[in-house]
Amino acid sequence: MHDTLSGRAEELGRLTDLIRTSLSLADSSIPAINAQLDELAAMGLDNLKLEGPLVYSRAASCSPTFDDARVVFAATLVMPGGLGCTVWGAEEYAERYGESGHEPPDLRERFAPYDRLPAIVRATLPAHAPKLLVQLLQSFSVLTR
């Protein structure tokens, strides 16, 4: 039992280090990226909404905002606003995206800016932000060639 417990403690230590490293990367790069995105928004690029994959899920607890048992966070880029996440009740997210008959949601209503996200959610964004930024850049590929 002691070996198993020691092994789990080591695994937790590796997970903590991984999250800490990812959070450090996110905190050192995403605010600067968001500053550049703010400049683009000020130049008129102000109606862009890109939602990426789900990056984190947690119990809703006693949140008055969500009726669901779980809250999910999806990586998102909105202009203005920058990189952050949209926040959904899990059931609502599944209903909204599971049926093609629904109109696309207004992501701006659900957008949480980077600096207001929990640390664990911020730590997930370096893995997904590059794809969202590539989508933004591809929409202006004529200008960037």
Domains of the chain, residue spans = 2-144
CA distance 4 to 8: 6
What digits encode the pLDDT tens for the residues 91-143?
888 777 766 555 567 788 899 999 999 999 999 999 999 999 999 988 876 55
Global pTM reads 0.82
What is the rounded (10 degree) CA torsion for 43, 44, 50, 56?
Answer: 50
Contact yes or no for 29/126 (Cβ under 8 A): yes
Give the DSSP letter of residue 101: T
